[in-house]
Chains A and B, each alone.
Chain A
Amino acid sequence: MSLYPHELRYQMRLYWRSRELAFFTFLLPMILFLLLGFAYGDDEIQGVKGSNYLLTGTLGYGLIATAFAGLAIVLVIRREEGILKRLRSTPLSAPVYISALLTTTMIAFLIQAVCIIALGMAVFGASFPHRPFSLVLALVLGAASFAALGVGLTGVIRRSEGASAVVNAIYFPMLFLSGSFFERDTFPGFLQAVADVLPLTYFIKLVFEIMLRGHEIWERPGDVAVLSAWGLVGAIVAIRRFRWVPQED
């Protein structure tokens, strides 16, 4: 484990040096938050001020952009280009590499969450989250679950050209169905049924209840259970399907 701090330092450096990643996963959710917030931030959604509702949705967007989509695409590209294969010849082990990458993702997401909340407070007068401790726990749980799903997804993607397509095909529908930006109650029944199994739905509900309704995380065991179960599925696939070498090798 002595390699872990070394690897983490470099993974952090790599993360912040990637402009594409910084834009699509870090800045884009905030930009969309601003646009939607100005458009209907003053409406009332689900009994709360629109901008507050959008704030919780944006945290969900940031979560899947950073911890799921960004992580999965980066890992597939590193594998298919041969970066992982090169690393495989060194004493670096898969658990150290993956845990450093997950920690980097988690730190990036937590910084992003702070920025989103600060933006909401500064621009739309959002109030400080009701239950900050529970909120941090929920963010960490969400990041862990989605990162596990992201790494698991890399095990079933075959080529780097397909990575964005596959990831986007999962990520955008999930983003909209989970009620990040629209009230789920207005969806037709079958779409609601789909939304009811998606992990993002439960993350957004959990964050909504904690930030806006003043619940603690342990008062929402159902949401926590579904999120954790998805994370576990992702972790199992990730461990079984992780590869260092490109597909056509």
Chain B
Amino acid sequence: MSPAVAVHELSKSYGELQALQDVSFAIETGEIFGVLGPNGAGKTTTVEILEGYRPRDTGSVEVLGVDPSRGGADWRQRIGVVLQSSAMYQTLTVAESLALYAGYYERPRRVDEVVEVVGLEEKRDSRVRTLSGGQKRRLDVGLALIGDPELLFLDEPTTGFDPQARRRAWESISSLRELGKTILLTTHYLDEAERLCDRVAVLRDGRIVALGRPGELTGALPPTEIRYRRDGKDVVIRTEEPTKVLHELTAEALAAGRELETLEVRRPSLEEVYLSLTQEESE
């Protein structure tokens, strides 16, 4: 089966600014794929090219087998989009907004079902203008789901959410996986990528600097760190064999009747991998 999304050597510049350079990746059907990177790395440019909002300069792009710059109504039947910033009619209610969008699709999901999926049951008959920021965002996700799309684009779906709302959003995104949907999401939150994505691409300055499973990205990095304090000084040991080193250390300390103060063993988190990938070397 051909991939849901195939991007090959995609480049795009805005005047002098090279927004994307030779970006290539593929997303398999049913996969949740994350595009991770700091602000200005090119995440939104990438998804907006895939959604058909922006033209590309060079490279090839196929979304559900179609070039997005030529995607017509049939193609739009099959995708759902949550933009980073967009808006809804303020004077319609939640249910009316969903019903309006449902009318655009051939086989929409039921309005009340989607209201439930995005957790807006209590706001069902409230006007959009009375919703909080997080509730508007959830409606936005609902509008993307109402057409029962095969492929969903979520551009920073939880930016501005409080922790509880983010957790709820994660649950509903995870539940979409069970429906067999393919999802492309962008985020600058690492825990979000780690929690939701099968694979991530890390973008920096318009280039992909890492691509793989969140676990693999961590694995690609250096060894485990063992830290403790001795005679008022911090000792840091980096090792590929933490079990062995630790055993020796503790045996030695035990024999000498010493305590390894502030002993800590840690593997680098995705956060550190990410920071090391996305920050220019300052040295």
Contact = CB atoms under 8 A, between A and B. Distances in A.
Given A90-B76, A91-B77, A92-B104, A18 B91 contact: yes
B47 to A, nearest CB: 11
A86 B87 contact: yes
Interface residues of B, number: 27
Given A89-B81, A90-B147, A3 B86 contact: no
Given A6-B103, A17-B91, A18-B91, A86 B73 contact: no
Interface string B71-100: 001101101110101111101100010001
A10 B87 contact: no
Contacts of B91: 14, 17-18
Contacts of B96: 10, 13
30 contacts: A3-B103, A6-B104, A7-B103, A10-B100, A10-B103, A13-B92, A14-B89, A14-B91, A17-B91, A18-B91, A81-B87, A82-B83, A82-B86, A82-B87, A83-B86, A83-B87, A83-B88, A85-B53, A85-B83, A86-B83, A86-B87, A86-B140, A86-B143, A89-B81, A89-B144, A90-B105, A90-B147, A91-B77, A91-B147, A92-B104
Nearest to A88: B53
Contact of B73 (A13, A83, A93): A93
Contacts of B79: 89
- Which of B86, B91, B140 has the most A CB atoms < 10 Å from its CB? B86
Contact of A89 (B74, B83, B103): B83
Interface residues of A, number: 20
Contact of A85 (B86, B101, B147): B86
A14 B91 CA distance: 7
A119 interface: no
A3 B86 CA distance: 22
B51 interface: yes
Contacts of A82: 83, 85-87
B98 to A, nearest CB: 12
Interface of A: 3, 6-7, 10, 13-14, 17-18, 81-83, 85-86, 88-93, 245
Nearest to A19: B91
Contact of A86 (B88, B92, B147): B88
Contacts of A83: 86-89
A82 B91 CA distance: 15
B76 A89 contact: yes
Contacts of B80: 89
Contacts of B103: 3, 6-7, 10
Contacts of A3: 103-104
A246 B92 CA distance: 22
Contacts of A91: 73-74, 76-77, 104-105, 147
Contacts of B76: 89-91
Interface string B21-64: 00000000000000000000000000000010100000000000
Given A82-B85, A86-B81, A89-B51, 5 more contacts: A13-B96, A17-B91, A83-B86, A86-B86, A89-B83
A193 B278 CA distance: 65
Contacts of A6: 100, 103-104
A93 B105 CA distance: 12
Nearest to A85: B86
Contacts of B101: 90
A18 B92 CA distance: 10
